Amino acid sequence: MMSTTKGLEGVIATESSISSIVDDQLTYVGYRIDDLAENSSFEEVVFLLLNKRLPKQDELKQFENELTSNMEIPDALIEHFKSYDLSSVHPMAALRTAVSLLGLYDSEADVMEPNANFQKAIRLQAKISTIVTAFARIRDGKDPVSPKKDLSYAANFLYMLNGEEPKDLEVEAINKALILHADHELNASTFTARVCVATLSDVYSGITAAIGALKGPLHGGANERVMKMLTEIDEVDNAIPYIKEKMANKEKIMGMGHRVYRTGDPRAKHLKKMSKELTELTGQAKWYEMSVKIEEYIKEEKGLPANVDFYSASVYHSLGIKHDLFTPIFAISRFSGWLAHILEQYDNNRLIRPRAEYVGPKIQSYTPIEKR
């Protein structure tokens, strides 16, 4: 039998022209993540990932209009959220169910023609932030807020979440975070989406499966746990003793380490800078300071870098966002990557079906149940 690679480490499972990680540098369709984070809008990055080229000015305008005009969600979704006791429902679980439900309201859900799938991608990207914010408000006993046509994607997210128009710096932070999380080669949730649709299942199924994979603490779920850890530490001086104890118990430090990056995650520095700026501005510099101490200690002790989830936690916290919404924000952004990969998979599809090395008992003789 063939040899196994635990966790498929280093295995090249597909070709893709969406994003690439080479020598710890991340690019989307060949554009450096640093350039995109500094100069672009999330809408432009979504266009880039879906079309594999940057838009011209009029194309971007049209794309932005398409997104905003598709942001409304069916009333049935709102009623669905209202019909449950949401007090102990994790937003990622709600999101997973909501996207699946959304598929029932799309008459083209099972139309596999490329243009129909592209239009579904736009509709899903448009609606995801409305779904997350509607959930967040309904569980707090508030009415959902409808999107505004003249706001950007990032601004609309904050507007629909808080019910008031955000400040420029807040919009800039969310726009940048959305760009930085948009795609990441064959990460676990993107792979999940591709495996699902490679059976020629529909876009909604692929995205629902991917949400389930992103939810886990070893992947997108880490950002919420980073903030849990920082909250438990609470004071800068407690950071190192806390981390030492966790490591002595062989516990993983959330937001640290990465399967692919060795020297560092190129997205983390942007989030680190934002974390410094926002925590200082809101008089909560301790979150940034204890994060830096943890990052330096883990790098020194284990040689592990901070990943994208690490500083995003203190960024979102500084924006006043509830901690269990951190992973849904990741999902809002990663929808663009998942959708681009789903379209690419359909474009050149073959069923994804690896093998397992069987390590169970050899052939055994069957004993009838009454004789066991």
Catalytic residues: 258, 309
Residue number, 73 or 254, with CB nearest to ligand OAA = 254
Q: Which stretch binds ligand ACO (CB under 6 A): 54-62, 257-265, 274-282, 354-362?
A: 257-265
Return all residues near 266 (Cβ < 8 A) that are at least 6 apart.
Answer: 24, 25, 26, 33, 34
* Residue choice 114, 259, 263, 282 for contact with ligand ACO (CB under 6 A): 259
Strand-pair partners of 256: 306
Residue with smallest beta-carbon separation from ligand OAA: 187
215 contributes a contact to ligand OAA by CB under 6 A: no
Contacts of 225 (CB under 8 A, 6+ apart): 217, 254, 255
Taking the CA atoms of 336, 338, 340 and 346 in sequence, report the sign of the dihedral they define. Answer: negative
Q: Which does 253 bind (CB under 5 to 8 A by kind): ligand ACO, ligand OAA, none?
A: ligand ACO
Sequence-distant (6+) residues with CB within 8 A of 22 are none
| Closest distance of CB 334 from ligand ACO, Å | 9
Q: Is 305 in the site for ligand ACO (CB under 6 A)?
A: no
120 binds, among ligand OAA, ligand ACO, none (CB under 5 to 8 A by kind): none
> Which residue has tokens 């990460």?
187
Per rule CB under 6 A, is residue 10 in the interface with ligand ACO?
Answer: no
Q: Which residues are CB-contacts of 257 (< 8 A; sequence separation ≥ 6)? A: 302, 304, 305, 307
Structure token pair of residue 185 = 């080669």
Count of residues that interact with ligand OAA, criterion CB under 6 A: 6
Contact indicator for 95, 178 with CB cutoff of 8 Å: no
Whole-angstrom distance, CA of residue 122 vs CA of residue 62: 12
| Shorter beta-carbon distance to ligand OAA: residue 7 or 283 | 7
Residue 91 binds ligand ACO, judged by CB under 6 A = no
Query: Which one, 248 or 351, has the nearer CB to ligand ACO?
Result: 248
Q: CB–CB of 28/319 below 8 Å? A: no
- Measuring CA to CA, how many Å separate 309 from each of 98, 252, 291? 24, 14, 12
Residue 187 in contact with ligand OAA, rule: CB under 6 A: yes
Residue pair 124/335 in contact (Cβ under 8 Å)? The answer is yes
Query: Which positions from 181 to 220 touch ligand ACO by CB under 6 A, shown as an x/- string?
Result: -------------------------------------xxx
| Chain residues in the site for ligand ACO (CB under 6 A) | 7, 218-220, 222, 252-259, 302, 304, 307-309
Binding site for ligand OAA (CB under 6 A): 184, 187, 259-260, 307-308
